[in-house]
Structure 1
């Protein structure tokens, strides 16, 4: 009986080990056939790609195709009717022909439009360019009350106690008609000097046509002059219970970003990131956000952020609580709260969203950890041992391309599959069975 018992236990151990290895094995690419060209279609065969419930991604949009989402390649369109942005050729990704631009100085709203999803896991891949500097292009605000007269754009406002001066750039008047906010130009006046002389809380502010009392702050925190560029580079939102997680600079005077799970788990500051993600002015960035909303009252949610192939953070956190139980189900692209200087333009090249972590992509390195130039492929059919996918319509970057597959658990083949003749991508045609 002991021998049989020992044999049974050994068999269970062997089977458990085998299943564990099978479950955690990385994807294996055996062969690739097709056209390695813009819009080209390839057939990938191998093993351990994982089972994907929907072959096509949830959402795909490229500025090369205009403002509308591509419903041939993706499964849904934009989720709202308040699209923010216009087609542009002023700043365009090197591989593309157009972009979409939105001025964050014009509104506190998000760029582009919501993308809704209905799953615990979501993957976002995008290319964007911030034509502003969050440490320099700050909104300068002074709230007021007891208004008499009317402030006008272009006027000089002077503080009667502080002696501070600033030029009116925008007036935001409240419904009562006697309170609101003045937003000032960021070049003229004492508030813009290297050692600034600022308006004081409670003092009278005067222009040629108006007077008002400065109410920026409180008696306990008498701010007087408020500077902000509250930039959120992305935000995942639970519509029903308002819990959300976003990524953005930790302070006005720094590029270093933090991650904040509002209402559920607080912030992860830059010193706790693996590689700090920076707000990078005037540079195209390829960004990936890999998220799982987790369960209620547990630290099992997960956010992975990658910038230009570098993993910035892989963090477990609490995304949902009994008071805020909703699962994240909406994605907002960049957003600014409380204003920014006019001309704070952000440009988007493309956006890919999927309600799973499965994906296929190419990069310029044979080692996944060394990938820096990355582009996503668009899957058309997906099985555990066979994937049909299309290259995006944009130009392929020059040189050797390597193919990678991620299964549904974010496990990627560490060594890339070299695509034949990828150094001459414009006219390459491979045999298709």
Structure 2
């Protein structure tokens, strides 16, 4: 296991997987039975004295003793002990470094208060200031955000990120929040049962397979809408309406739910976020989805990807090509049902609406969402052609649905009827 200089590395894994033990081995608290711990090319147990190690490595532990009558400033100055002369004590540069650390962590205003009187989040920031006052080359942190509110979590992790980028400090942090770890860490190391299960970039480590193997729960792994990194959503058997949901592997290592043998798939004609609530409602109740063509990065594309839908993806801001429309038509013909979301139609996406009309003509159940506008002109940006196609598919018997719940009831009825017909 290797962490490059100046890198922000995260240790993740369930309780008792070895994360804290790893930090103790690196910081000379627990001597490893085998192997070596190298910092800057030197073995921290064989080549460095305690003083040399203390000048190189700083630690922010899970728990820090608070039952002693030190002020915040005195507590932060403890970080300067490896550099202080035993006779002369602290010098002005030591106090200046302590003040810089308190300013960086937002604790300077607390400097005259007793450490024992502080709230949990305040104490955590003071302990971090003590570590920063040590001017370390390697900073080890064991769950530094565990007692912080969400705003201070971001502030602390932003500070650590700046230290690694601009200050050249190597940061190794234990985090239980997989989403924060994915956002901030350059690399992640997933531990389970005392073993290194996976390591690499957040995108390669935080997958459904890895998370479920390490933690044992059921999750959906999607993408952060701003940062593009993995984001983990827990799936509970008890939350929601209490339906039993069985997860299976979906696209890009995400997860999706399958309620029925034979998998009654619904194809959604979507775009621009028009099908977000619809797809979430259907997936939550166990119906496998397909959608497209959709531009990469589109809101509905992101939702479908997070839900494990089978997607037809085209480049951003581009019109649908013949091949993507052909694939969409094939998906529709093989689906149990097709739902056209309240998408604005122009020349770029009109071909998929035409494909939905042909699907209805061939006998596949088709429905139009937002029935009040289904045959109107408010969605037509194709000089009346979309209005004509919507009217045609309605004449062919398309169901008119008022919203996501109406769509769910329609799909459920179709699926139950098919279940009764199929051998």
Question: Under TM normalisation by the shorter chain, which class is it?
Answer: under 0.3
TM-score of the pair, normalised by structure 2: 0.26
TM-score, normalising length from structure 1?
Answer: 0.26
Q: Rg: which structure is higher?
A: 2
